[in-house]
Structure 1
Amino acid sequence: MGGARVGKWFVAIPMALLALATIYPLVFTTNVAMKTRHEYVLDRFSVAESLRWSNIEGAWNSVGMARYFVNSIVVVGLSVTFLLIIGSMAGFALGQLRFRGSRALFLGCLAALFIPFQVIMVPLARTMADTGLLDTYPGLVLAYVAQFLPFTIFLMTSYYAGVPADIIDAARIDGNTLYGVYRRIMLPIGRPALLSVGILNALFCWNDVLISLLLMPSADHRTLMVGVTALRGQYSDNIPTFAAGVLIAALPVLLIYLFFQRQIADGVTAGSTKG
């Protein structure tokens, strides 16, 4: 009994320290965002004297954060929609259908996961410029879809591979086409995986800075995370306002984590088991 209790402490203490290290930056940023510049200069680690929302309002209105927020919503929404449609179709084909080259195609998608974006960023920017897609929403959406599609296909293929083939055969006997099987059978079955992958892709796209900064040089088309970097340059001497901008950008991600913890965990582990 004593050994089991000691073992629990060995797990609980590192997990508590990890949780503290994760929560503290958010608490510190929130506290700084509620301070005046004078309070921050005097003592950056002290507790704010009162809840002041003027910094958040100033960050929201100063560099067009509202416009950047809308830009991020539009780009992330379109990107995730295309990723789920294409990823679920490809996952159904690679997980359940057997055709020539299917194995090689899946291995190619798997290999694409190991290619860093920095390797392809220059050719991608040149291609976007040559096709007129640079500094456009369709261009950024296509870049996000191309970047995160291998991950989506991998998880959806792993999930759909665990669906019994008898279900597919029964649906075909009932007269369904392949598209009918996909729409009536596979989409409802894959709803948990689609939700998990959709949340993960939304977080990836929302938190991205490099791709958006590369492909959207215009200030009007910036996404929220790029806008936060611009806020840092403008308010380098006013850290509370910059902290308020960081808080605005982090709030949607925090809410997603709070409400969809289980789905995110399921999405991370979806490809770790074979059905």
Structure 2
Amino acid sequence: MAPLRAGRWLVALPMAALAAATVYPLVFTANVAMKTRHEYVLDRFSPAEALRWDAFATAWGSADMGRYLANSLIVVAGSVALLLLFGSMAGFALSQLRFRGSRVLFLGCLAALFIPFQVIMVPLARTMGQAGLVDTYPGLILAYTAQFLPFTVFLMTSYYSGIPGEITDAARIDGNSTYGVYARIMLPLGRPALLSVGILDALFCWNDVLIALLLMPSPEHRTLMTGVTALRGQYSADIPTFAGGVLIAAVPVLLLYLFFQRQIASGVTAGSTKG
């Protein structure tokens, strides 16, 4: 019994230290946001003297974080919708349909995962500029779709590969077309994977800074994360306001993770558990 308890402590202590290291930055940021500028200059690590919400109100109103939040919601919703549509279609085709070149296409999607965005950012900016899509919502949505589609296709192909082919064969015998098999059979069966991949794609798009900075230069079209970056320069002498803006940007991601942590974990492991 004693060795078993000792083994549990050996696992629990590092996990507790890791949890503390993860939670402490959020607690520290929240504490800084509650302080006045004078309190922060005197001692940044001491507890705030009172619960003050002025920093959050300033970040939301004067720094225009509300508009940035709305921009992020529009872009993320549009990007995730396109990613799930195209990713599920491609995953179904690559896993269940037999056609020449399917293996090469899948390997191409897999290879695209290893291409850093910095390699394609200049051609992308030129193409978007020539198409008149710079500083527009559709332009950023298309850029996110192109950037994260290989990941979505990979996970959906891996998931759909685990569905027996007899199911799709039976659906075709019942008179379903290829589209009918996809819409009536594969989409309902793929809901767990679609939810997991959709959450991961939403996190990727929400946390992006580089693509949004490149394609959304005007202040009124900034996403929330680029707005936080600009907030650091605008309120460099007012760290509590900057901390309030950081928390405003972090809260939606934290809530998403708290409510869907199981789906996020299953999405991460989908590619390794599905044949």
- Which residue identity lines up with residue 201 of structure 2 in the other structure? N
Aligned to 1:38: 38
What's the CA shift string for 1:71-106, capped at 9, x where partnerless? 000000000000000000000111111110000000
What's the CA shift string for 1:216-260, capped at 9, x where partnerless? 111111101001111111110010000000000000000001100
Aligned to 2:96: 96
Deviation at 1:4, TM superposition (A): 3.0
CA distance in 1, matches of 2:113, 2:80: 18
Structure 1 position 137 matched with structure 2 position 141? no
What's the CA shift string for 1:30-77, capped at 9, x where partnerless? 111111111111111111111111110000011211111110000000
What's the CA shift string for 1:91-141, capped at 9, x where partnerless? 011111111000000000000000010111111111111111111111100
Q: Which runs of 5+ in 2 are unaligned?
A: none
CA distance in 2, matches of 1:156, 1:218: 35
List structure 1 segments (4+ residues) > 4 angstroms apart after TM superposition: none
| Structure 1 stretch displaced more, 125-134 or 75-84 | 125-134
TM-score w.r.t. structure 2 length?
A: 0.98
CA distance in 2, matches of 1:28, 1:249: 15
Deviation at 1:156, TM superposition (A): 0.3
- Which residue identity lines up with residue 158 of structure 2 in the other structure? S
CA distance in 1, matches of 2:190, 2:198: 12
Aligned to 2:11: 11
Structure 1 position 213 matched with structure 2 position 217? no
Query: Where do 1:28-107 residues align within 5 Å?
Result: 28-107=28-107
Structure 1 position 267 matched with structure 2 position 267? yes
- Which residue identity lines up with residue 163 of structure 1 in the other structure? I
What's the CA shift string for 1:156-203, capped at 9, x where partnerless? 000000001111011111000111111111111000000000000000
Q: Which runs of 5+ in 1 are unaligned?
A: none
Aligned to 1:124: 124
CA distance in 1, matches of 2:227, 2:243: 13
- 2:8 is paired with a residue whose SS is helix
Structure 1 position 238 matched with structure 2 position 232? no
Deviation at 1:17, TM superposition (A): 1.0
Aligned to 2:167: 167
TM-score w.r.t. structure 1 length?
A: 0.98
Query: Where do 1:237-256 residues align within 5 Å?
Result: 237-256=237-256
| C-alpha RMSD over aligned residues | 0.9
CA distance in 1, matches of 2:6, 2:126: 58
- Which residue identity lines up with residue 262 of structure 1 in the other structure? R
Structure 1 position 180 matched with structure 2 position 180? yes
CA distance in 1, matches of 2:95, 2:32: 49
Alignment length, in residue pairs?
275
CA distance in 2, matches of 1:243, 1:63: 12
Aligned to 1:151: 151
Identity %: 78
- Which residue identity lines up with residue 71 of structure 1 in the other structure? N
- Which residue identity lines up with residue 126 of structure 2 in the other structure? R
Structure 1 position 222 matched with structure 2 position 208? no
Deviation at 1:212, TM superposition (A): 0.1
